[in-house]
Structure 1
Amino acid sequence: MWDEERNHHLFTPAALDLAQPLFDRLREFDLHMLLSHGLPTLEASNTKNLTHPDNVFSLEGLLDRLLTCSVLPKHQPPKADHFLIATSLMLPLPATQEDPYCNFQMVIWSEFEKTLRRTLRSGSGPAEITCIDDFEQTRKVLMSALNAAVEKHVPFISTSQYRKQW
């Protein structure tokens, strides 16, 4: 699939039988070659023969994001016979968009407390908690009063899309 015909000595029946499971998986998972046919990926150290034993495969869905896939023979590490393969994909990262959140550092707490007291006085909760229903009613009145005070006195702050994620 990706080696040159001149390397026919590699295509023995035994070698092709050994490679068949790889071909089956490529077909089964619809994998596609990213390296162009004929690009050598190895230089045999003793014969200097260029061969193509390596390749890069991708799922169908990534093919439209492929920018480049190539070998870099000029960047071959010392004493290595395989060439480096560089693959570039376009994977855009959207800017983070977080909802604004409460900035409790900017609250004028005396005003917050006045609003909370006023709202709690006007609430209709039981004078004493004696059962689960009384507790639930008191909890609802308290949460409603807290939410009203937060809504009135706590400013919102938005995060910058450029802030670091840590």
Structure 2
Amino acid sequence: MTLEPGVPMLQALSTGNYTRVDNIFCSSNLVDHVVRCETVPERRQPKTDHMPIITWVALEAKRVVKEDRPNWRKAEWKELREELEKELKKLGELKEYETEEEFWNGRQKWQRVIEKIVNNEKLVSRTKMTPYQRRWWNKTLDRLRKKCRKLGKKSYRKRFEVENPIHEAYRVARQRYALEIKKAKAEKWAEWLRQVDEAGLWDIASLVEKGPMD
């Protein structure tokens, strides 16, 4: 068991009582590598009762290099089409491939043209990838999250003082944070719907069928 006995990991939404519903275990091969395991009450998400549990494990892992990707929303489409047309003309007249070798040679030439256009930062700017990227996120949510975490930490420290006003302040802050998240998602969805084209209708249908997500 990696989480120390007696550490609460859940606060009931109805009563506000703290409890421990599960134990945190790991395999015998891994247990010697566990440096630390604890809950982080201030990072509990809105409308959830479980507290995040963070485990530090001393293991070496290869660092993944995240490459920038094309930012198609800011692409210079007029210039891109003109440049693409110019490069494709250099390949000569279109013709039907008669052998497998001709097909693969032709494919390779087309691939080089496309890569040349996509990698031209004057036509297609780059954007950095992040595992925490949410298109609906905004500065207001960032501020409210910091406030919730700060109040959450204070509330947890005073968890044995049931009448302490910090608990109500934390509850109100979490409630507002949850409402602002819902509002931000709805606004981003409406913004996307306003600018979607015919091809995008298939994306909408796919998203609706999959159900709620971030």
Name the TM-score, length of structure 1 as normaliser: 0.42
Bigger radius of gyration? 1
TM-score w.r.t. the length of structure 2 is 0.34
Tell me which protein shows more strand as a share of its residues.
1
